[in-house]
Structure 1
Amino acid sequence: MDLRQLRYFTAIVEQGSFSKAATKLRVAQPALSQHLRHMEDELGVPLLHRGTRGVIPTEAGERLLARARSILAEFAELRDSVRGVSAAPGGEVRIGLPGTVSEQFSVPLIEAARERYPAVRIRIAEAMSGFVLDWLRRGEVDLAVIYSTSDPKGLGIHHVLTEELCLFGAPSLNAVAAPAGGTVSLTEAAGLDLILPGQGHGLRDQIDEAALGVHATINPAIEIESYSQIKRLAERGLGYGILPRMAVSAQARAGIFQTWGIDRPALHRKVYLAYSTERPMPAAARAIGQLSWEILRGLVADETWTATLGEDGDRPALYG
């Protein structure tokens, strides 16, 4: 078994099919299949389940995947160490982002990276924060922006910013007594027809926990996971939503939504830049992590992102 086979196997799993992996690697699909058979013969166990919807790793394949990612990361770090800091970083950097973060952050990051690190390729994957965190722990992404830090073991986590959650709705609705731009209590918000993610979603859990503290009950009129669909339903007048103010600021400026702050208690959400401390970090990932930190803070400083800067200062351990 060699590094090439480990790269091939990792690509097959991450792409979910031999054909997609072959395209990504620019390798003939029969050659990938042959390498996989040789690996299974050498190890004496099946590594992949093959089905109509693609391939997934077996239990043995999962173990190999974890070790393969670690070995490939260490190999990339070795090359970076030997070349020294004077060499321009290069290679692929995978970053996981929640959808609302990606809306504001992806384009500035890609533009800045292309200018500063032209040899680095950025691959962005979007999902809810909990899924992004799982990807980070499994080594499927190199960097992540997340909301929850309930279990920070094995992670480097840096508080970038804190954003406000607000109530919003179409101007045609008139169930809120406070004037637009004012504030409502969470108890008042709980009595409205709300459009929220379902239980188990990080944002919903935060709202439920805050409501419990003031003896209020959240019974949404509509439950849906997608932030974009929450906004579409709210725009049609089917209820009120609670999202980060940044996520609805453009629609508020356009007059599509009215917004209210929430107090008693105020609702805020912390945003963190995260990476694994259990795997070596290649120079390219470290460079993009530093750039991500700078861009996220810059979006707050120039008021593109309605938020306050986090508590971790200007240069987190990521720069070490």
Structure 2
Amino acid sequence: MSLTLKQLRYFAALAEAGSFGTAAARVHVTQPALSLQIKELEERLGVKLVERLPRQLRLTRAGQEVLERTRRILAEVDDLEQAVRWQQGLKGRLNLGVIPTVAPYLLPLALTRIRSHDLTLELRVREAQTDTLLEELRRGRLDAAVVALPVPGPGLVARPIATDRFLLAGSRARLASWAERTEALRPRALAPDQLLLLDEGHCLAEQALEVCGLSGRRQVDLGASSLSTLVGLVAEGFGLTLLPEMSVVTESAAAPNLSLLRFSAPEPARELALVRRESSSDSGWMDDLARLLTEAADALLVQARRIVPEAAAA
């Protein structure tokens, strides 16, 4: 009996889920059926892959090695399937990941354009933090992801789609004194104890620390798990934050008390890009998708600059 892709997929699901019941639900089979496939895989390989403990399971050393190779094999199979899907460009099925500080702002405009490009396209969107998206991309669960550069690690190809500048956000009262100053407004002038950031794990928080010249989070009063919550806090006077230009249209409408200022040139910014695996096939679909995303991003940024004109920069 030979190894099967079904066995490998079941084993990968088991390793990630940490229990037979959860893994069986993920792959839509009964627990006995999944257990049988894992047992047959162990018999075929001649090694024990899983330690079955009373309340948990643990991979053996052989199991860890098999899991690493299994993930590579499944990623290659997914790339093969993708190569066939994308022979005629952006058609068929698209699994797209987007970071949370971009998804609610870019997706509504981008999805309209993507649907107009091909109404038959089956689109699945995954919103998650950068590390999660890149891991799922490398494992073949995503075809592409929208993240902020730089992208850590090898094996990925990035296509820039937008330069998203940061604005200073706070209440009208807090920003009034900043607006009256004659000197250039720089991120490094912000007091660390006034700066609110997203929770750890969000790349936007790390970018804000970098542009403000702060060495660590211990200096900063941490803020919220979502950008909308963070905006609500600073709009009511609870500190200041750096707001991506792409979010201005939505967040300024939702928080009437929010005030925004542009930093002096050169304005701090993040580079957003569409990323795919280097090993995946590209018959032009990435160019099509990047173009549609860029069009949507440009439309958002034009609207943002009407709300906070570039001429307002000191």
TM-score band, normalised by the shorter chain?
Answer: 0.7 to 0.9
Q: Deviations over 1:157-189 (max 9, x none)?
A: 111111011111123545633069x97322433
Q: Deviations over 1:266-299 (max 9, x none)?
A: 211101111221x34488xx74x45531331111
- 8 Å Cα contact 1:102/1:126 also seen in 2: no
Aligned to 1:9: 11
Aligned to 2:244: 244
- 8 Å Cα contact 2:102/2:246 also seen in 1: no
Name the CA distance, whole Å, in 2 between partners of 1:139 and 1:79: 10
Q: TM-score, normalised by structure 1?
A: 0.72
Give the counterpart letter for 2:28 in structure 1: R
2:72 to 59, 70, 73: 70
- 8 Å Cα contact 1:194/1:219 also seen in 2: no
Aligned to 1:153: 154
Q: Deviations over 1:40-67 (max 9, x none)?
A: 3333132477786x77766544543443
- Larger deviation: 106-115 or 63-72? 106-115
Give the counterpart letter for 1:272 in structure 2: A
Aligned to 2:220: 220
How far is 1:265 from its partner? 5.2
- Larger deviation: 161-170 or 235-244? 235-244
Give the counterpart letter for 1:301 in structure 2: D
Distance 1:105 1:266, change over 3 A: closer
Name the CA distance, whole Å, in 1 between partners of 2:233 and 2:80: 51
Unaligned runs of at least 5 residues, structure 1: 309-320
Say what the alpha-carbon RMSD is for the aligned residues: 4.2
- 8 Å Cα contact 2:86/2:281 also seen in 1: no
Distance 1:41 1:273, change over 3 A: same
Distance 1:80 1:168, change over 3 A: closer
- Larger deviation: 290-299 or 197-206? 197-206
- 8 Å Cα contact 1:47/1:61 also seen in 2: yes
Q: Determine helix, strand or coil for the equivalent of 2:177.
A: coil
Aligned to 1:230: 230
Aligned to 1:188: 189
1:294 to 291, 296, 301: 291
Distance 1:307 1:35, change over 3 A: farther
Q: Determine helix, strand or coil for the equivalent of 2:101.
A: helix
Name the CA distance, whole Å, in 2 between partners of 1:58 and 1:305: 55
Name the CA distance, whole Å, in 2 between partners of 1:158 and 1:192: 36
Distance 1:94 1:45, change over 3 A: farther
- 8 Å Cα contact 1:77/1:282 also seen in 2: no
Q: Determine helix, strand or coil for the equivalent of 1:153.
A: coil
- 8 Å Cα contact 1:224/1:230 also seen in 2: yes
Distance 1:158 1:48, change over 3 A: farther
Give the counterpart letter for 1:238 in structure 2: F
Q: Determine helix, strand or coil for the equivalent of 2:12.
A: helix
- 8 Å Cα contact 2:195/2:221 also seen in 1: yes
Name the CA distance, whole Å, in 2 between partners of 1:123 and 1:50: 36
Distance 1:263 1:25, change over 3 A: same
How far is 1:36 from its partner? 1.5
Unaligned runs of at least 5 residues, structure 2: 306-314
Aligned to 2:133: 132
Percent identity, aligned pairs only? 26
Q: Determine helix, strand or coil for the equivalent of 2:102.
A: helix
Aligned to 1:162: 163
How far is 1:260 from its partner? 0.7
- 8 Å Cα contact 1:95/1:123 also seen in 2: yes
Distance 1:281 1:33, change over 3 A: farther
